[in-house]
C-alpha cells in the first residue's frame, strides 16, 4: 500500500507541476489551444498516442476482445499501429498542418466552416462534437472501478473526483502545452507499464509457450474447434475485421486526434513523429490486446464469469493483476498498472475536454458574439472545468444507478464522430471538387446511423433482414458502416452537386504549392 500511495502522490505532483510550469505558453488562444503551433515530434507523437489509448482500451476493450478473439485480438493492436497511427500521420499529417494554418483554423468545425465557406456547416459540426464528446469523455472512467476496488479500499467516486480535479487543474494552467508535456510523461509510463504487465502475466502462467498451450485447450461457445483462441484469426474473423476498422480508421475523423496535427512544428517533426507514434502504438495497443488474449485463463477467478453466465469484461485484466500478488514483486507491478491506467485516462480526458471547450468557445460563442483574446481564454477555461465536471458526474451516476442509456451512448460516440467527419475531412484536404452538399450528406448519414443504432439497442425498432439485423446488432458494425458509407457518399455526391467558386478553391489549395527553400541534405542541388 505504501508503494502505491507514494507512486500516486509523485505522479500527481509531477502533473500539477508541469501545468504550472507551462502556463507561460497559454497566454493567448493560439497558445492555449495549439501550443503556438510549435510542438515537436516527441510531444506530438506521444500526445497522439496517449489520446488514442485510454483506460477503456487497457481495461475494457483488451478484456472484451481478448475474451472474444483470443490471441487474434493482437490484430487490433497492429491495425491501430499501422492504420490508426502510421497511415494517419502519412495521409493527414502534412496536409492538415499546412491547410489549417493557411485557413487560420484552430478546430475541426472551424476547418469545415472555412474550407467550404459555410457557417451552418461549422455550427452543425460543433453541435456534433458537443453532443458526442461528452459521453465519450465520461467513458474514460470505465474500468477504473474494478482496478481500484482491487488495489484500494476506497469508494469509486473518490477515484473519479481526484482524477477529474487534477486533470482540470493542469489543463486550466497550461492548456495544450501542459497536456502535451504531461502526455509525454504519461506515455513513458504506459510503455513501461504494459511491457512489465505482459512479462509478469506470462511469467505467472509458466512462460509464453506454457500460456499458449493452456489457452489452446479453451473452447469457444457453440464450437467444437480446438485451439480456436490461439488460431490466426480467432473464433469470429468477420467481427474481428469490424473491430480493426472501427478502432483504427476511426482516428482519422476524431477531432481530438486530428487536432494534434494542427500544432506540430515542422516537416522534420512530422517525419519523426510518424515513426515515434507508430512504435508507441505497436507497444501499447499491441501489448494490451495481446495481454487480453489470455483472458480466458482467468475464467475461474470470482467475478469474471457471473452467476447468470455473462462475462464481466472489465474484471478480466484486474483478475490477471490480482493473481500477481502471490509473487514478491506483484504489488510493485500492480502499483505501476494503477499509474498506467490513470495516465492513460488523464491524457485522453485532457485532450477531449480541451477539444470540447475550444470548439464551443471559438466555433459557437465567439462566432455569435466577438470576444477579446482575454475573454476567449477565460471562457475556454470555464468550459474546461464544466466538461470535466459533467463527465465526472455522468460516470458517478452511471456507476451508482447503472443507467444503460449512458453506456450505450458511450459505445456509439466513436462511430458517430468518425462516421460524420472522416470522409469530409479527408476529401476536403485532398480534393478540390468536394462540395458542401456532400459534407452535409456525410454528417446526416453518420448521425442517422448512430440514432438507428441507439433505437435498436434499446429495442425501440428492429430489423428482420439478415444484413440490417447483423449491422445494427453492434455499435462497432454500425460505426464501420457509417465511416465507409461516408467515404462512398462524399465523392459520389460531389460529382453531381454544385462546386465551389474555382478561384476561391484554388487560393485555398495554393498553400500546398508554395515554394520554400530547403537545405541540400533535403534535396540535391541540381533538383532545386
The pTM of this model reads 0.87
Please determine, for residue 328, whether its predicted confidence score (pLDDT) is greater than 90: no
Out of 3-17, 98-112, 250-264, 439-453, least confident range: 3-17
- Which range, 206-215, 309-318, 406-415, is most confident? 206-215
Taking the C-alpha atoms of residue 270 and residue 317, their distance in angstroms, rounded to an integer, is: 35
Q: Which structural domains are found in the chain, ordered by start?
A: 1-18+38-126+166-298+326-352 (1.20.1730.10), 403-528 (no CATH)
Please determine, for residue 526, whether its predicted confidence score (pLDDT) is greater than 90: no
Render pLDDT for 264-292 as a digit per residue (tens, 0 to 9).
Answer: 888 888 899 999 999 999 999 999 999 99
Question: What DSSP designation does 311 have?
Answer: B
Residues paired with 39 in a beta bridge: 264
Can you give the pLDDT at residue 408? 57
Q: In the structure, how many helices (H) and strands (E) does the chain have?
A: 25, 0
Among all chains, which residue has been given the C-alpha cell 542541388? Answer: 525
Out of 158-167, 270-279, 365-374, least confident range: 365-374
Can you give the pLDDT at residue 521? 65
Taking the C-alpha atoms of residue 425 and residue 434, their distance in angstroms, rounded to an integer, is: 10
Please state the rounded mean pLDDT for residues 245-263: 90
Can you give the pLDDT at residue 252? 94
Q: How far apart are the first and last CA of the chain?
A: 63
Residue 399: pLDDT band (50, 70, 90) is: confident
Percent residues over pLDDT 90 in the chain? 36
* Residue 432 burial by Cβ neighbours in a 10 Å radius (0-12, 13-18, 19+): middle
Can you give the pLDDT at residue 528? 45
Can you give the pLDDT at residue 88? 95
Percent residues over pLDDT 70 in the chain? 92
Residue 409: pLDDT band (50, 70, 90) is: low
Out of 119-123, 136-140, 412-416, 434-438, least confident range: 136-140
Taking the C-alpha atoms of residue 163 and residue 102, their distance in angstroms, rounded to an integer, is: 37
Amino acid at each position: 500500500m505504501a508503494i502505491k500511495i507514494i507512486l500516486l502522490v509523485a505522479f500527481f505532483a509531477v502533473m500539477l507541476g508541469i501545468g504550472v510550469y507551462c502556463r507561460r505558453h497559454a497566454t493567448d488562444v493560439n497558445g492555449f489551444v495549439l501550443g503556438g503551433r510549435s510542438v515537436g515530434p516527441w510531444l506530438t507523437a506521444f500526445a497522439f498516442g496517449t489520446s488514442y489509448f485510454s483506460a477503456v482500451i487497457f481495461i475494457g476493450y483488451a478484456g472484451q476482445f481478448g475474451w472474444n478473439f483470443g490471441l487474434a485480438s493482437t490484430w487490433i493492436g497492429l491495425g491501430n499501429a499501422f492504420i490508426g497511427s502510421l497511415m494517419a500521420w502519412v495521409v493527414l499529417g502534412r496536409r492538415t498542418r499546412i491547410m489549417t494554418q493557411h485557413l487560420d483554423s484552430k478546430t475541426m468545425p472551424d476547418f469545415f466552416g472555412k474550407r467550404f465557406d459555410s457557417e451552418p456547416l461549422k455550427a452543425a459540426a460543433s453541435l456534433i462534437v458537443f453532443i458526442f464528446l461528452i459521453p465519450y469523455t465520461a467513458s474514460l472512467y470505465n474500468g477504473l472501478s474494478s482496478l481500484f476496488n482491487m488495489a484500494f479500499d476506497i469508494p469509486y467516486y473518490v477515484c473519479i473526483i481526484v482524477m477529474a480535479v487534477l486533470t482540470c487543474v493542469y489543463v486550466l494552467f497550461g492548456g495544450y502545452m501542459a497536456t502535451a508535456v504531461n502526455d509525454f510523461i504519461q506515455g513513458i509510463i504506459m510503455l513501461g507499464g504494459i511491457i512489465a504487465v505482459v512479462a509478469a502475466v506470462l511469467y505467472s502462467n509458466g512462460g509464453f509457450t506454457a500460456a499458449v498451450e493452456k489457452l489452446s485447450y479453451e473452447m469457444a461457445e457453440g464450437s467444437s474447434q480446438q485451439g480456436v483462441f490461439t488460431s490466426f484469426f480467432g473464433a469470429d474473423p468477420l467481427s474481428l475485421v469490424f473491430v480493426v476498422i472501427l478502432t483504427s480508421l476511426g482516428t482519422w475523423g476524431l477531432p481530438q486526434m486530428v487536432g494534434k496535427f494542427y500544432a506540430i512544428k515542422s516537416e522534420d517533426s512530422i517525419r519523426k513523429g510518424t515513426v515515434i507514434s507508430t512504435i508507441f502504438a505497436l507497444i501499447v495497443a499491441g501489448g494490451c490486446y495481446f495481454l487480453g488474449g489470455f483472458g480466458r485463463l482467468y475464467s475461474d477467478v470470482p467475478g469474471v464469469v457471473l452467476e447468470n453466465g455473462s462475462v464481466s469484461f472489465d474484471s478480466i485484466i484486474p483478475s490477471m493483476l490480482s493473481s500477481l500478488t502471490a509473487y514478491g514483486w506483484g504489488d510493485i507491478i500492480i502499483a505501476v498498472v494503477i499509474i498506467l491506467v490513470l495516465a492513460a485516462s488523464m491524457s485522453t480526458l485532457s485532450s477531449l475536454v480541451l477539444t470540447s471547450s475550444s470548439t464551443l468557445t471559438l466555433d459557437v460563442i465567439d462566432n455569435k458574439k466577438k470576444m477579446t483574446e482575454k475573454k476567449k481564454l477565460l471562457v475556454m477555461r470555464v468550459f474546461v472545468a464544466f466538461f470535466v465536471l459533467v463527465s465526472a458526474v455522468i460516470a458517478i451516476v452511471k456507476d451508482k444507478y447503472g443507467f444503460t442509456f449512458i453506456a450505450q451512448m458511450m459505445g456509439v460516440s466513436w462511430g458517430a464522430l468518425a462516421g460524420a467527419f472522416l470522409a469530409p475531412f479527408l476529401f476536403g484536404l485532398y480534393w478540390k471538387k468536394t462540395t458542401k452538399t456532400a459534407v452535409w450528406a456525410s454528417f446526416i448519414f453518420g448521425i442517422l446511423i448512430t440514432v438507428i443504432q441507439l433505437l435498436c439497442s434499446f429495442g425501440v425498432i428492429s430489423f428482420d433482414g439478415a444484413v440490417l439485423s447483423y449491422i445494427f446488432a453492434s455499435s462497432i458494425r454500425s460505426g464501420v458502416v457509417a465511416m465507409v458509407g461516408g467515404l462512398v457518399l462524399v465523392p459520389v455526391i460531389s460529382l453531381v452537386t454544385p462546386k465551389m467558386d474555382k478561384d476561391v478553391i484554388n487560393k485555398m489549395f495554393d498553400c500546398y504549392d508554395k515554394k520554400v527553400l530547403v537545405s541540400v541534405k533535403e534535396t540535391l542541388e541540381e533538383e532545386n
